[in-house]
A = this chain, B = another copy of it.
Amino acid sequence: MSQIYARVALIGLGLIAGSMGLAMRRAGLAGEIVGTARSAETRAVALERGLVDRVTETAAEAVAGADLVVLAVPVGVMGELAAEIADHLAPGATVTDVGSVKQAVVAAVGPHVPEGVHFVPGHPLAGTEHSGPHSGFAELFRNRFTLLIAEDDTDPSAVDRLTRLWQGMGANVEVMDAPHHDLVLAVTSHTPHLIAYTMVGVADDMRRVTDQEVIKYSAAGFRDFTRIAASDPTMWRDVFLTNKEATLEILGRFTEELFALQRAIRTGDGSHLFDYFTRTRAIRRGIIEAGQDTDAPDFGRGGAKT
């Protein structure tokens, strides 16, 4: 594959940025990849693992001369970071990010992006429950979706170039606006994460059921919740603080449905339960047909081909 950007700057070197570095290097998508992170240890690991070609101590140094700048830090500090690099961005460069919410990033970063620099927010729908510079791998984005945000005044050629970069890393790309992104993600990601965190917290609190029992018997369904609920706490705190409206809306719908099922249990309304459980099977089939999961029975021994 041919080079798409001459120099890419990765700000933050966690799971997503590290995987991007490995994927870009493998496919030859960038002339040079420069990385930075606040922790000297993280920078050292990134160099050692070959996530980037070189590291810098500051974000300002990293972005100098880069034609693509990737903000890969928690959503809560994106605005601050944007202010810090604003004066150092090269004319014609593109700034993107990988945050899980988009309206808040647009609001925090947008005002700092100088005239003549493109801003194309992004969100790769890929991840694992691991975080940090040791966790990335080149295959992370393969056959996953990356959502890019374009407004009416976004330069189509900047969107197109970034699209080709993500495709080169194996992703399918879709373009949408920020409010729709945040609603879709509230349904497919943010609310499910909050619910999983809640359920795991409840289990941890039950004094009549020991932690040991919860752990031993997790294969009965709970295990998938613990995987979701093991994700990076900082990232998820910021997601809920910054996608508040959509998350609260979906939570309201969730609670309403849950109460209806709870009442069906209490009153012994088996046909309500059966009909509800039958309907949800169809969605699962759709996901398998769309290639977003396999039909193989998963009982926790699989493990990805990394």
Q: Please give the residue numbers on chain A whose beta carbons come within 8 Å of chain B beta carbons, in ascending order.
A: 76, 125-130, 135, 137, 140, 144-145, 147, 174, 183-185, 187-206, 208-209, 211, 213-231, 233-234, 236-238, 240-241, 244, 247-248, 250-251, 253-255, 257-258, 261-262, 264-266, 268, 270, 273-274, 276-287, 290, 292-294, 296-306
Assembled-state Cα–Cα distance A286/B211 (Å): 9
How long is the Cα–Cα vector from A186 to B116 in the complex, in angstroms? Answer: 58
Complex Cα distance, B230 from A287, in Å, reads: 11
A-B contact list, 23 entries, CB within 8 Å: A125-B217, A137-B297, A187-B203, A187-B214, A187-B222, A188-B222, A189-B221, A192-B222, A197-B277, A201-B279, A211-B286, A216-B292, A223-B293, A224-B224, A229-B281, A229-B284, A230-B281, A230-B285, A241-B265, A292-B300, A294-B303, A301-B304, A302-B302
User: How many copies of this chain does one complex carry?
Assistant: 2
State whether B183 touches A209 (Cβ < 8 A): yes
Contact pick for A254, options B202, B204, B280, CB 8 Å: B202
Q: Which of B147, B189, B205, B220 contacts A253 (CB 8 A)?
A: B205
The answer on a CB contact under 8 Å between B241 and A273 is yes
B130 touches A297 (CB 8 A): yes
Cross-chain contact B215 with A287 (CB below 8 angstroms): yes
Query: What DSSP secondary structure best describes chain A's contact surface?
Result: helix
Point out the residues of chain B lying under 8 angstroms from A126, CB to CB. Answer: 219, 299
Q: Are B201 and A284 in contact (CB under 8 A)?
A: no
Assembled-state Cα–Cα distance A81/B280 (Å): 29
With a cutoff of 8 Å between Cβ atoms, the chain B residues found around residue A211 in the complex are: 283, 286
Does B304 lie within 8 Å of A299, measured CB to CB?
yes
Interfacial chain B residues near A228, Cβ < 8 Å: 221, 224
Give A137 to B298 CA distance when docked, in angstroms.
12
Give the chain B neighbours of A302 by CB distance below 8 A. 294, 296, 298, 302-305
When the two chains form their complex, are residues A258 and B216 in contact, meaning their CB atoms are under 8 A apart?
A: no
Contacts of A283 in B (CB 8 A): 200, 203-204, 211, 214-215, 226, 229
Query: Does A299 lie within 8 Å of B253, measured CB to CB?
Result: no
Pick the contact of A192 from B125, B221, B278 — CB < 8 Å? B221
What residue of chain B has the Cβ atom nearest to residue A143's Cβ?
A: B301
Chain B residues contacting A244 (CB-CB under 8 Å) are 265-266, 268
Return chain B residues, CB-CB under 8 Å to A287: 215, 218, 223, 226
Tell whether, in the assembled complex, residue A298 and residue B221 are in contact, meaning their CB atoms are under 8 Å apart: no
Chain B residues with CB under 8 A of A193? 221
Residue of B nearest to A243 (CB): B265
Given contacts A251-B262, A303-B294, contact A202 B187 (CB under 8 A): yes
The docked-state distance in angstroms from the alpha carbon of A61 to that of B254 is 48
